[in-house]
Structure 1
Amino acid sequence: MQRIVKPKTQRGRRALEKKEPKIFENSKNALMFKGGNTSQTVTQILKDWHTLKKPNATLFTKKNATKPFEDQSSVEFFASKADTSLFMFGSHSKKRPNNIVIGRLFDGQVLDMVEFGVSKFTSLRDFKTLKTASGIKPCVVISGEFFEDSDDNRRIKNLLIDFFRGPTVEKISLSGLEHVISITATNGKFYLRSYRILMKKSGSKVPRVELEAMGPSLDLVLRRTHLASDDLFKRALKKPATAKPKKKKNISRDDLGNRLGRIHMKTQEFDKLQVRKVKGLKKRKNDVETDVTETATKKQRTQTVEAT
């Protein structure tokens, strides 16, 4: 039976409410942790990506004897403890040296996982250039025919975008774009590069854009995958009805983007319609007397008709 946690303090109650599912979810946080045996390369990879994904990242420095592909309960426990839905796990062994696992969770359970082997790595500190500020949303560039060959490869592409895309924002300022993450896949190998955007003078209003290698730089080899079933993945993509925008009736747009609407109104009585009072439209005494005489003659005519 699943144990129901009841808060004992107000602080504990707020912490549990923060972890509860919401109609509009918060930005996804990532957990970086390592296994029982790691190498210096794996440790530095976790530190570098934790630095780039701040403040939406948590780093566990202690070693944890866990194997995600054999036992997923430990991964789910650590993710629940840190309140994260993305994770990056690093390990090192003779059979799988310099091993990196990137995955995500749904409803507290592991949804997708992909295991990579690091064949080449250049750290963030090895690039003697300026770095971008923390908390900046990066531009993610995915290229390569590998991602369109099969449904599993498209799922890997979706996972990588979900992990590296950063927080969800409504508007983007062009001057605030400083970071580019490029992922290229060919022949089962993945080339992950990180660049800093430089905007230089071009003699016009539009600046000249250049990319400067900032690091980290990784060459990865695909090893194992653990992808959710189609039904579970479809369930994870489902949005509540309250989160969907309500459709506005009788409103459309033309080819030029102009907004057109249809308004339904009741029949108006123009005699009782309140308009702007103008001196020229006011009735004079002579006009009032003529109106009175006209109404009197009309009444006499109706009486004579009835009498006949």
Structure 2
Amino acid sequence: MSLVKVAKTALGKRILESREPKVVENPKSVLVMKGHRTSQIVIQALNNIQYALKKPFGIHFSRKNDIKPFESETPLEFLCEKNDTSLFAIGYHTKKHPNTITMGRLFDHHILDMVELSIEQFKTLEDFKVEKCAVGAKPSIIFVGELFEMNETYRHLKNFFLDYFRGKEVKVIDLTGLEHVIVFTATEANIFMRTYRPLLLKSGNKLPRVELEEMGPRFDFKVGRTKFAHEELMKRATRQPKETMKRKKKNIEFNALGEKYGRVYVDHQDLSKLQTRKVKALKKYLSKKEDGEEKQAKKQKMDVDSE
């Protein structure tokens, strides 16, 4: 039996209301923590994930936590619920799992999926002596490699990385303000993660020449243990609210160039009943036409009677 939390103060009431389900979700925050054993590489990697890739949406624990995600999920779920985070990253260094980071996400305060990534090569932000992007800049995420489409595990990883690093949702993006690009390249053995900053250079034309300058961090990951949600739970987690679904407008189409076309249905018109300007010449013409039609109808009737 689950206990229902009741606020005792106005501040507590506001906190509980902020954690209730919403039609439009808040930006997802990440809980970054160190495991029972760590290395300098793991600590630097966690700091880079927190401060470079997820800041300001994250909480960093300075103390070590004896938590093993693939063996016991309850302590991790408790800490994420307590700190109101739906993403987590925990780093540890052991003989079986050297320089490893486990990243995951939650749904309804329970772990939805997680993946274990072993760091084979790593360069920090400080190793790249270039200008960095602004804090909280929304990244453009690019996936390179057929495995992200053909392999089931890599397809889940693509969805996971998109949800993990996408940042705050926005309706419109100014391309001149795009300062952060994350590229994932997949091979059968590794996943290479590179972070770039776009540069707009002079090209002699109206459109600038775009180049990517690596600003770090740089990761070479090897995929270890994984835990992905089953199909029914994934459908529940990705269900789109009716309020946010766009209703399809009837009889409106777009061509390949994006031009909008509308289709209008008009009933069959009887031109004889069409209201026109009353001109004497037109009136005489219509009266003659009606007389001719009447005479023709009488003639046809007489022919039928004579037969």
Give the superposition deviation at 1:247: 4.0
C-alpha distance in 1 between matches for 2:146 and 2:254:
37
Give the superposition deviation at 1:153: 2.1
With 44-53 and 239-248 compared, the bigger mean Cα shift is at 239-248
User: How many pairs were matched up?
Assistant: 264
Partner AA of 1:72 in structure 2 = E
Match of 1:145 in 2: 146
Give the superposition deviation at 1:147: 1.8
Distance 1:96 1:25, change over 3 A: same
SS in 1 for 2:160: helix
Please tell me whether the aligned partners of residues 253 and 260 of structure 1 are also in contact (alpha carbons under 8 angstroms).
yes
Partner AA of 1:131 in structure 2 = K
The residue correspondences of 1:44-123 to structure 2 (distance < 5 A) are: 44-52=44-52, 53-123=54-124
SS in 1 for 2:224: strand
The residue correspondences of 1:190-229 to structure 2 (distance < 5 A) are: 190-229=191-230
Partner AA of 1:115 in structure 2 = E
C-alpha distance in 2 between matches for 1:262 and 1:251:
7
Give the superposition deviation at 1:201: 0.9
C-alpha distance in 2 between matches for 1:136 and 1:76:
28
With 226-235 and 51-60 compared, the bigger mean Cα shift is at 51-60
Give the superposition deviation at 1:67: 0.6
C-alpha distance in 1 between matches for 2:12 and 2:261:
49
Match of 1:28 in 2: 28
Match of 2:17 in 1: 17
Partner AA of 1:78 in structure 2 = L
Partner AA of 2:27 in structure 1 = S
Q: Tell me the alpha carbon deviations over residues 34-77 of structure 1, each in whole angstroms, 9 at most, x when there is no partner.
A: 11111111111111111122112221111111011111111211
Partner AA of 1:9 in structure 2 = T
C-alpha distance in 2 between matches for 1:180 and 1:199:
14
Q: Tell me the alpha carbon deviations over residues 217-243 of structure 1, each in whole angstroms, 9 at most, x when there is no partner.
A: 111111110011111111111122233
Give the superposition deviation at 1:258: 2.4
Give the superposition deviation at 1:136: 0.5
The residue correspondences of 1:165-244 to structure 2 (distance < 5 A) are: 165-244=166-245
Superposition RMSD in Å: 1.8
C-alpha distance in 1 between matches for 2:155 and 2:260:
37
Give the superposition deviation at 1:262: 4.8
Give the superposition deviation at 1:191: 0.8
SS in 1 for 2:85: coil
C-alpha distance in 2 between matches for 1:147 and 1:42:
26
TM-score, normalised to structure 2, is 0.81
Match of 2:259 in 1: 257
SS in 1 for 2:193: strand
C-alpha distance in 2 between matches for 1:261 and 1:8:
59
Unaligned runs of at least 5 residues, structure 1: 265-308
SS in 2 for 1:188: coil
Unaligned runs of at least 5 residues, structure 2: 267-307
C-alpha distance in 1 between matches for 2:47 and 2:85:
17
Please tell me whether the aligned partners of residues 202 and 208 of structure 1 are also in contact (alpha carbons under 8 angstroms).
yes
Match of 2:287 in 1: none
Partner AA of 1:260 in structure 2 = G
TM-score, normalised to structure 1, is 0.81
SS in 1 for 2:78: helix
Please tell me whether the aligned partners of residues 146 and 188 of structure 1 are also in contact (alpha carbons under 8 angstroms).
no
Match of 2:301 in 1: none
Q: Tell me the alpha carbon deviations over residues 119-139 of structure 1, each in whole angstroms, 9 at most, x when there is no partner.
A: 111111111111111010111
C-alpha distance in 2 between matches for 1:254 and 1:20:
39
C-alpha distance in 1 between matches for 2:34 and 2:254:
55
